[in-house]
Amino acid sequence: MKFDAIIVHYDEIGLKGKNRGSFERLLIRNIEAKLKGLIDGCVRESGQITVMFSKDADKVKGALSCIPGIAYFSFALKAKLDYDSIKKVVIDTLKGKRFKSFKVNAVRHNKDFKLNSMELNSKLGEEVVKAYKKKVKMKEADVIVKVEVSNKYAYISLEDVKGVGGLPTNPQQKVVALLSGGFDSPVAAYLMMKRGCEVILVHFHNKNQASSSVEDKIMKLAEQLSKYQVKTKLYIVPFEKLQKEIIMKVNSKLRMLVYRRFMLKIASKVAELNKAKFLVVGDSLSQVASQTFENLEVTYTGLDKHVLSPLIGLDKKEIIEVAKRIGTYEISAMPYGDCCSYFLAKHPALRADVKVLRENESLFDVDKLVEDAIKKAKLEEK
């Protein structure tokens, strides 16, 4: 079937009171940017956004189902704003469809239309019974015919497609996410996008240790994550020189924590350069030795930027569920060696002492090393 429009619904934006308009404009801006060339425009109507489109329904569907801020959407046919036109489209929409029971669910956004929702439900319901000899069922009907009466047209649709939910990504809310090749950090980055942040990705790479497939994997992860926001920057930061110095100077029990501290310091600099406000990591409390209660405290304190850990209270199983849903699971499952795992002790420190860790850090010219790493970073934009 050929459709005229897509009706986009949001839920949380609807709760924003006076700020609702700015959220709606942001969502429209994001939809227009992600569907450039595929749609003919968006119109803001009461409680919904109507997307006009004329081609490539599958592509449009795929893109819309990844845009944060959209709760669900439906492909619709439009009818002129009079009862007979609406009736005709309702009957046409159901032509050839197999179902036993149905219900009509009308919403009158445009209060100037003379029939109210209840009247539309019962009158259109009677027409469908007459035309197709089907039963009305209020609960668990096979088909729900949605009729949305808006300002210019009425829209008739049958199925809702689930969206990401959350809030539209906002370039004024930038964060920098540390992206490893594992399962966790892509999910952490996605969750921040879902809550309305523009996420800049940073990956640390030791070219002497890692095979070239690691970089390929990171590019694939960034590509997948880029579906959920308008603009994606990925910094690939060389880590070999720094890592070599850390291996020389720091006891193997503490190395992981020092690696991570340097990563966070470099990421803070990336944040400063991009006017980003927070750092984001894929830590989950007590998942591994570097993420014990005590080690997280010494890792996060005294940085130029605050660290957010959106997975902190999630179990691995829950993280994997999200990874599967957002399409990063298969990419993360590809074999790789993260540079974080080189030259570590079999039994790393579980409760590092903040004083000892800072003493270790004082053996480095931190500012110079951070500056150096930033200079050599490679930037990819999607």
12: closest CA among 168, 197, 161? Answer: 168
The correct pick among 51, 106, 164, 179 for binding ligand ATP (CB under 6 A) is: 179
Nearest residue (CB) to ligand ATP, 163 versus 181: 181
Which is nearer to Mg ion, 15 or 285 (by Cβ)?
A: 285
CB 190 within 8 A of CB 322: yes
Contact map string, positions 88 to 127, toward Mg ion, x by CB under 5 A: ----------------------------------------
Start-end of H helices in 275-353: 293-300, 316-326, 329-332
Segment 269-328, which members bind Mg ion (CB under 5 A)? none
Distance, CA of 298 to CA of 353 (rounded, Å): 8
**What is the secondary structure of 133-191 as a DSSP string?**
--EE-SSS-SEEEEEEE-SS-EEEE---EE---SEEEEEEEEEEEE--SSSHHHHHHHH
Report the C-alpha dihedral over residues 112, 25, 57, 103, rounded to 10 degrees.
Answer: -40
Residue 55's nearest CA partner among 36, 39, 66, 43 is 39
Q: How far is the CB of 256 from Mg ion (least distance, A)?
A: 10
Q: Number of residues in contact with ligand ATP, rule: CB under 6 A?
A: 20
Residue from 67, 283, 308, 322 touching ligand ATP (CB under 6 A): that is 283
Window 315 to 374, contacts with ligand ATP (CB under 6 A): 338-340
Q: What is the DSSP letter of 290?
A: G
Check if the beta carbon of residue 262 is closer than 8 Å to that of residue 202: no
- DSSP, collapsed to helix, strand or coil, labels residue 307 as strand
Closest distance to ligand ATP from the beta carbon of 238 (Å)? 11
- First and final CA of the chain: distance in angstroms? 33
- Per-residue contact string for residues 233-272; x = within reach of ligand ATP by CB under 6 A: ---------------------------x--x---------
Distance, in Å, from the CA atom of 306 to the CA atom of 280, rounded to the nearest integer, reads 9
Q: How far is the CB of 235 from ligand ATP (least distance, A)?
A: 10
Binding partner selected for residue 217 from ligand ATP, Mg ion, none, CB under the kind-specific 5 to 8 Å limit: none
Residue whose CB is nearest to ligand ATP in the complex, by number: 182
Q: Which residue has the tokens 């119109």?
A: 43
Q: According to CB under 5 A, which one of 24, 148, 283, 338 is a site residue for Mg ion?
A: 338
Task: Please report whether residue 288 would count as binding ligand ATP according to CB under 6 A.
Answer: yes
Compute the distance between CA of residue 171 and CA of residue 51 in angstroms, rounded to an integer.
22
Least Å from the CB of residue 338 to Mg ion = 5
Question: 342-381 mask for Mg ion (x: CB under 5 A)?
Answer: ----------------------------------------
Identify which of residues 156 and 340 has a Cβ nearer to ligand ATP in the complex. Answer: 340
Q: Which residues bind ligand ATP (CB under 6 A)?
A: 178-180, 182-185, 203-204, 260, 263, 281-283, 287-288, 290, 338-340
